[in-house]
Amino acid sequence: MLTPGPGATELEYELLVDSDTQSAQGHTQWFYFAIRNGQFCGTVHFRILNLRKKKSLYQQGLQPFVFSRKKHRTWESNCCQGVYYGKKEKGLRDLSGSEARGDVMLQWSYRVDRKEDEIYFAAYPPYSYSMMSSFISSLEQDAVARCHFRRRELCRSIGQLPVPLLVVSEGLNEKEGEQLPKYAVVITARQHPGEVVGSWAVQGLLRFLLGPTPAAKCLREEFVFHVIPMVNVDGVVHGNSRCTLAGVDPNRVWHDPNPILHPVVFALKNHMRSLSQGLSSVKGIEMFLDLHGHSAKFGCFFYGSNPSAHISNAVFPKLCSLISTDIDFETPKVAEAEECSSTGAEKSEAGNPLQGLLTGVKEERNFPNSKKKITVKLEKLHKRLKDKKEAWHQFEENKLEEEIQAV
């Protein structure tokens, strides 16, 4: 509750973001809080003192998202003033007198113009574990969607929360007996809880895959999709930015996940290994897509698994960039070697869990950062594309040829 003095028209608050649970690195990035103003109307200035990342889209025009109960609107992204993200003054201390941990601060102002309002501020519109559960339940009630997917439990988290796994394929709940084996596409999201855009993306993806369109039906007939919409469920529930309940970044333990400390990654890796080996009534894994958010880059783009990955890893990102102007193919796609040693390369090389995988990519939506840019020449991509499966060849050759001619 805002508590101004008599006649006050401005208030100022200094805030500290809690570090991720059990995390030594802090990882202070995600924030989500609310204020209630009572009878106060005026300008409120906020300053978060202990952020970590030196670069952010807040330096490029991004604003904190705001939701007002009185305005009866959705989350708004352009109603703050004086947004600043950068180094804080030396020796700046919090209200307790201690020097605030972290080198960067975020400050902004907001005009409160309605009495008895409740106003929420967030780094991005929240997507909670409860929202995910409600969404899956709504799919189970949908007459069209429920025919084509089954909900399973991949495992339990450290906090004993169920981690849902959705299996999507044409007529999955209509046909008696086992279906003919298909290639699997594995899709994951929210390894990092603060990257909320991953959940919004996977929700839209599931709506499409389970919808009535001919394109969705064609994909369901050709593939079986294994979707884990929220990997780090504990981190989401506890409001972390990056880590699990054990203070571990799940995207850094794929090389050797511990079944006690990293139960979700351990179960997910074993599940993908069984799929890649042709078990579980599938022929193998055709593609692994890991959805993330980026805090410092614009747009939507892809990272490959490692700099030496086969050119086939570039086919799917190239397809997406041709179909949608939202996808930027020229943004760095393959992270440098030292970064991949702790991210994508672990998924594709450690213990060969994904041996024979056609494409393993990580999709980022503007919310690691590549210092080494790998350029893929279109002529080479076109030549390698001819060696791929006929389905890929027929779908893409004409569009790719047009792109080459345009260059």
Supply the pLDDT for residue 100: 56
Q: What is the model's pTM? A: 0.82
Q: Which of 346, 323, 320 is nearest to 333 (CA)?
A: 320
Supply the pLDDT for residue 88: 80
Supply the pLDDT for residue 360: 60
Angle at 115 between CA 111 and CA 116, to 5 degrees: 120
Supply the pLDDT for residue 97: 55
Q: Measured between alpha carbons, how far is 261 from 253 in angstroms, rounded to an integer?
A: 10
Q: What are the helix and strand counts (H, E) for the chain?
A: 10, 14
- DSSP 8-state assignment for residue 179: P
- DSSP 8-state assignment for residue 339: H
Q: Which of 357, 344, 308 is nearest to 191 (CA)?
A: 344
Q: Measured between alpha carbons, how far is 388 from 358 in angstroms, rounded to an integer?
A: 9
Supply the pLDDT for residue 25: 81
Residue 278, judged by CB atoms within 10 A of its CB (0-12, 13-18, 19+), counts as middle
Q: Measured between alpha carbons, how far is 11 from 50 in angstroms, rounded to an integer?
A: 20
Q: Measured between alpha carbons, how far is 100 from 88 in angstroms, rounded to an integer?
A: 10
With a CB cutoff of 8 Å and minimum separation 6, the contacts of 182 are 169, 222, 223, 224, 282, 283
Which two three-digit tokens encode residue 190?
Answer: 């929210």
Q: Strands 359-365 and 282-293, how do they pair?
A: parallel
In this prediction, the residues of the chain whose per-residue pLDDT falls under 70 are 3-5, 7, 90-102, 175-178, 305-307, 331-363, 365-407
Query: Could you tell me which residues are beta bridge partners of residue 150?
Result: 167
Q: Strands 162-168 and 149-156, how do they pair?
A: antiparallel
**Going from the N-terminus, what domains does the chain have, and what CATH number goes with each?**
10-122 (2.60.40), 129-406 (3.40.630.10)
CB 348 within 8 A of CB 305: yes
Cα–chain center distance at 353: 22
Q: Measured between alpha carbons, how far is 75 from 125 in angstroms, rounded to an integer?
A: 6
Q: Measured between alpha carbons, how far is 214 from 237 in angstroms, rounded to an integer?
A: 37
Q: Which of 344, 397, 358, 396 is nearest to 223 (CA)?
A: 358
User: Residue holding tokens 């101004």?
Assistant: 4
With a CB cutoff of 8 Å and minimum separation 6, the contacts of 396 are 315, 318, 319, 322, 385
The SS3 assignment for 231 reads coil
- Tell me the C-alpha to C-alpha distance, in Å, between residue 112 and each of 81, 161, 379: 12, 38, 56
CB 63 within 8 A of CB 108: yes
Neighbours of 83 (CB within 10 A): 15
Supply the pLDDT for residue 250: 96
